[in-house]
Copies of this chain bind each other. A is one copy, B any other.
Amino acid sequence: MRTPGTTQPSSVDASIPSTLRADVAVIGGGVVGHGIAWEVQRSGRSVVLIDDAPGSGASWAAAGMLAPVSELHYQEEDLLELMLEASSRWPAFAAAVADASGTDSGYLTTPTLAVGADAADRRALMDLRTVQQASGLSVEPLTVREARKREPLLSPAIACALDTPGDHQVDPRRLVAALRLALAGGARETHHLAVAGAVDGYAVPERASGLLWEDGIVTGARLAGGGTVLAAETVVANGLQAGALADLPHGLELPLRPVHGDILRLAVPGHLQPLVTATVRGLVHGVPVYIVPRRDGTVVIGATQREDALSDAVSAGGVYQLLRDAQALVPAVAELELLECTARARPGTPDNAPLLGRVPVDLALRSEGSATEAGYVPGLIIATGFFRHGVLLTPAAAAICTDLLDGKADPRWVPFRPGRFSGPGTATHGLHDNGTHTKETA
């Protein structure tokens, strides 16, 4: 068994101790889980991250567009506010990750070009621009000539192009790798741990099977292999798997559904470098497609959203559609080398917004226990359901979680309360029942 608190914690360790202690346990090692864990560590707490295959879920297939402007949808103003909050945090977050990890986090401030293939696509993008402008966002139409001056390989047949300078990108695979390094490095520098005998920055290479409870308080996580992680606070950040955890608060509905996406990674031959300098987000006969240029000369093409039964299987039809539509915008895509086709499921929710926050205690009347207090379930934070926006929202989700740990709750994020889909009692936890509750177990 590992002796907690001695020697430096390893980021991956084949021999898992049967019991670990930390201030905070984070269940789930995607971009969001890693971002939260690192921010928690930066706040001076010890943290343990639990995942048997870190970075291999939705994060593995994410394009990493940081695109609050392009991702704006009608009647999703609450989400827009969260996306803009996250976007404003990205430069400092990326710089801090790069600094702490000593590696490139893959963050790039390349601009985004919204491109429409036909007249209907143009109308749709111009209509969206009206909403974007009403929200104070900068989206400027270019002539096709101007667009092709900036991106010579754009098809001359496109119907429109709009400059969206505020939408940037990060490489999610690099980001997870950098956050892992930062976590492990941060652990060596952490001096004051609230929990006696705690470890920090330890990544448990195991699946969490459920929550641990004691007297109505969540006290950590059970591991599939039989061990436990004891923590004053547990963050559920394992995406689609969140709903499969045992011993979630009674009555808590986490209506997560898999929304599959196919993504392609392609190499650009030397004579076509750079294929594009901006991220190209297209609408091709009503179907979205994007082409994201990476620093290493590859491009990522994606945008399928399938709610079919193929799970992590790559859809032949999806790959076909991506190649077809990407070629409509940039014909030279046909000359690229196809390196990789990957598919993953993103955790969708009924309102496309995350499940982020604490759980009201009146949903927590578990059969074997009883709620101890009014307010929120002590020791538990939910952070899942990020759908298409997990990478973009990570710095905001991480900040919101550390705020909650500090007993602070920002009323702007009440619309994302994780109990909002939970049964008849839900309505009683509306806006009036907002984040003025303080945390019970700091």
Contact = CB atoms under 8 A, between A and B. Distances in A.
A309 interface: yes
A327 B321 CA distance: 12
B317 A334 contact: yes
8 contacts: A266-B316, A269-B310, A308-B335, A314-B337, A315-B335, A315-B337, A317-B336, A320-B324
Contacts of A320: 320, 323-324, 327, 334
A338 interface: yes
B341 A315 contact: no
A31 interface: no
A339 B315 CA distance: 9
Nearest to A299: B316
A323 B334 contact: no
A184 interface: no
Contacts of A338: 313-316, 319, 341
A319 B314 contact: no
Contacts of A341: 338, 341
Chain B CB within 10 Å, residue with most, of A266, A308, A319 = A319
Interface string A258-276: 0000001011010000000
A155 to B, nearest CB: 15
A333 interface: yes
A269 B309 contact: yes
A327 B319 CA distance: 12
A48 B360 CA distance: 74
